[in-house]
Copies of this chain bind each other. A is one copy, B any other.
Amino acid sequence: MSYNSFGRVLRFSTWGESHGPAIGAVVDGCPPGIALAEEDIQPWLDKRRPGTSRFTTQRREPDAVRILSGVFDGRTTGTPISLMIENVDQRSKDYSEVAKAYRPGHADYAYDAKYGFRDYRGGGRSSARETASRVAAGAVARLVIPGVRIRGWVEAIGGDAIDAARFDDAAIDDNAFFCPDAEAARRWEGAVDAARKAGSSLGAVVACEATGVPAGWGAPLYAKLDSDLAAAMMSINAVKGIEIGDGFAAAALSGEANADPMRPGDGGPTFLANHAGGIAGGISTGQPIRLRVAFKPTSSILTPVATIDRDGAATDIATKGRHDPCVGIRGVPVVEAMMALVLADQMMLHRAQCG
A340 at the interface (CB under 8 A from B): no
Q: How far is the CA of A152 from the CA of B253 in the complex (A)?
A: 22
Given A21-B68, A106-B281, A259-B105, A245–B254 Cβ distance below 8 Å? no
Contact (A68, B352) CB under 8 Å given A262-B306, A276-B240, A296-B253: no
Bound Cα distance from A75 to B119, whole angstroms: 10
Partner of A156, one of B82, B251, B269: B251
Contacts of A350 in B (CB 8 A): 114
CB-contact partner of A118 in B77, B158, B252, B285, under 8 A: B77
Q: Could you tell me if A104 and B259 are in contact, using CB atoms closer than 8 angstroms?
A: yes
Per the bound structure, the CA–CA distance linking A224 and B6 in Å amounts to 11
A42 at the interface (CB under 8 A from B): no
Instruction: Give A97-133 as 1s and 0s: 1 = Cβ < 8 Å from B's Cβ atoms.
Output: 0000010111111110111111101001110001000
Q: Does A43 contact B (CB under 8 A)?
A: no
Contact string against B for A residues 326-337, beta-carbon threshold 8 Å, 1 for contact and 0 otherwise: 001000000000
Query: Is the Cβ of B308 less than 8 Å from the Cβ of A254?
Result: no
Residues A250 and B353 in contact in the complex (CB < 8 Å), given A118-B72, A230-B230, A286-B113? no
Copies of this protein chain in the complex? 4
Chain B residues with Cβ below 8 Å from A248 are 205, 240-241, 243, 248, 292, 294
Are B253 and A203 touching (Cβ within 8 A)? yes
A4 lies within 8 A of B263 (CB): no
A142 within 8 A of B: no
Query: Would you list which residues of chain A between 237 and 296 have a CB under 8 Å from chain B?
Result: 237, 239-248, 250-264, 268-269, 271-272, 275-277, 279-286, 292, 294-296
Contact B240 A250 (CB under 8 A): yes
CA distance A253 to B68 in the complex (A): 36
The answer to whether B16 touches A328 (Cβ under 8 A) is no
- Stretch of A53-61, A168-176, A211-219 on the interface side: A211-219
Closest chain B CB from A319 CB (angstroms): 9
A283 near B125: Cβ-Cβ < 8 Å? no
Bound complex: CA A202 to CA B297 (Å): 33
**Also in contact, A308 and B32, with CB within 8 A (given A14-B221, A220-B125, A230-B231):** no
Most buried by B among A10, A243, A255: A255
- List B contacts of A14 (CB < 8 A): 80, 221
Enumerate A1-22 residues with CB–CB distance to B below 8 Å: 1-11, 13-17, 20-22
- A96 CB within 8 Å of chain B: no
Q: Does A138 contact B (CB under 8 A)?
A: no
Chain B residues whose C-beta falls within 8 Å of the C-beta of A254 in the assembled complex? 158, 195, 200-203, 297
Cβ-defined contact, B264 with A313, below 8 A: yes
20 contacts between A and B (CB under 8 A): A3-B80, A3-B353, A4-B220, A13-B28, A13-B80, A17-B69, A32-B114, A33-B117, A107-B280, A107-B281, A110-B284, A111-B281, A230-B231, A241-B251, A243-B294, A251-B295, A255-B297, A259-B305, A261-B307, A263-B306
